[in-house]
Amino acid sequence: MITMINTNNEPKTLLDAVKFFSDYENCRSFMVEARWPDGKVKCPTCGSEHVTYMQKTRRWKCYSKHARPQFTLKVGTIFEDSPISLEKWLPTVWLLANCKNGISSYEVARALGLTQKTAWFMLHRVRLAMRTTVFGKPGGEVEVDETFIGGKARNMHLDRREKAITGTGGKDKAAVLGFLRRGGEVRAEVVPNRKKRTLQGMVRGQVAPGAAVYTDALASYDGLESEFAHQVVDHAVEYVRGRVHTNGLENFWSLLKRGIKGTYVSVEPFHLESYLDEQAFRYNNRDNEEVGDTGRFRAALAHIVGKRLTYDELIGKTALEKQNHILN
Ligand SMILES: [Zn+2]
């Protein structure tokens, strides 16, 4: 059974979203659609469609004989082990999918009547799940550029500020490497440094051999010509040479930095990665204007719960990826 969603009262603002999702039936419609696009609810244990919904307990019952024959919509998703209700989780996803400049845990806490700590944890979990892990290697024309994020010394306590500033000067900043496929998606990753070995290793891991790679004149990119159609635009001379430029990424960096300044007090390196993923998700879905806020929410939710990934699996996977990264 597919429940039709009334599109007239779709949420437009934070308050709308909170109100809209406070109705469990709205949560149920969206969750069922995201998890089972054919509209047929299946038992997460055995996959059987022979299940019955029990309105009273908001559970389904599977008729096959196995342990845990009853299940909720949270089973097998990143929400599963959390006592927080879907009525609070879904507006949080909605906010992350739609707020251009990001959203702070304080705002979420206030809107949903949660503690800031709980809201922070929820945001972190959803950001992690939004991380697009399965990219094909981009081919065609790819802009590659690096930037520094952080260094918000004015927000620090005086003793920390002195420590940060007297260091190497860039010690409190994190280096980030970005990839933008023309007409395609952007992705950005925290890198330990801007050395040749680090940056070129990343490019080789992320970009299909033979692709046109456009970078600035940083010496770390020298030598990419052996595997890519590498072209350099020297910013000391010019910013654009025909198709050779990194303006797409420059645009992404400025959105990124505006978001950090406007909403987040600071970005610790540890959390920076998930913040980058969140911004990349929004950037990559920016042209979905015809689908609007609800469309972006649908895409995010399908991405998050469509994979049937629990939070434990999610963190395990991320840790493994990190490990692979180092090995590569
Ligand atoms: Zn079953």
Q: Residues 209-243: pLDDT tens digits?
A: 889 999 999 999 999 999 999 999 998 888 888 88
142 has pLDDT over 70? yes
Beta bridge partners of 186: 180
Instruction: Please give the share of the chain, as a percent, with pLDDT higher than 70.
Output: 78
7 has pLDDT over 70? no
Q: How confident is the model at residue 179 (pLDDT cuts 50, 70, 90)?
A: very high
Distance 313 CA to ligand 1 centre (A): 21
Q: What's the pLDDT at 311? A: 81
HEC assignment per residue over the chain: CCCCCCHHHCCCCHHHHHHHHCCHHHHHHHHHHHHCCCCCCCCCCCCCCCEEEECCCCEEEECCCCCCCEECCCCCCCCCCCCCCHHHHHHHHHHHHHCCCCCCHHHHHHHHCCCHHHHHHHHHHHHHHHCCCCCCCCCCEEEEEEEEEECCHHHCCHHHHHHHHHCCCCCCEEEEEEEEECCCCEEEEEECCCCHHHHHHHHHHHCCCCCEEEECCCHHHCCHHHCCEEEECCCCCCCCECCECCHHHHHHHHHHHHHHHHHCCCCCHHHHHHHHHHHHHHHHCCCHHHCHHHHHHHHHHHHHHCCCCCHHHHHHHHHHHHHHHHHC
Question: For 86-95, 228-237, 244-253, 271-280, which range has the lowest pLDDT when averaged over its residues?
Answer: 271-280
Mean pLDDT of 261-287: 72
Q: What's the pLDDT at 284? A: 83
Distance 91 CA to ligand 1 centre (A): 29
174 has pLDDT over 90? no
Mean pLDDT of 167-178: 68
153 has pLDDT over 50? no
Say how far apart CA 175 and CA 196 lie, in whole Å.
13
Q: What's the pLDDT at 235? A: 86
Question: For 73-82, 115-124, 171-180, which range has the lowest pLDDT when averaged over its residues?
Answer: 171-180
Yes or no: say if 184 and 143 are a contact pair by the CB < 8 Å rule. Answer: no
244 has pLDDT over 80? yes
Distance 80 CA to ligand 1 centre (A): 17
157 has pLDDT over 70? no
Q: How confident is the model at residue 327 (pLDDT cuts 50, 70, 90)?
A: very low
190 has pLDDT over 90? no
Q: How confident is the model at residue 317 (pLDDT cuts 50, 70, 90)?
A: low
121 has pLDDT over 50? yes
Q: How confident is the model at residue 44 (pLDDT cuts 50, 70, 90)?
A: very high
271 has pLDDT over 90? no
Among candidates 144, 139, 137, which has minimal Cα distance to 232? 144
Distance 63 CA to ligand 1 centre (A): 6
Q: What's the pLDDT at 288? A: 62
Neighbours of ion ligand 1 (CB under 5 A): 43, 45-46, 48, 62, 64
Q: What's the pLDDT at 289? A: 61
Digit-coded pLDDT (tens) for 284-299: 877 666 667 888 888 8
Distance 69 CA to ligand 1 centre (A): 6
Distance 74 CA to ligand 1 centre (A): 15
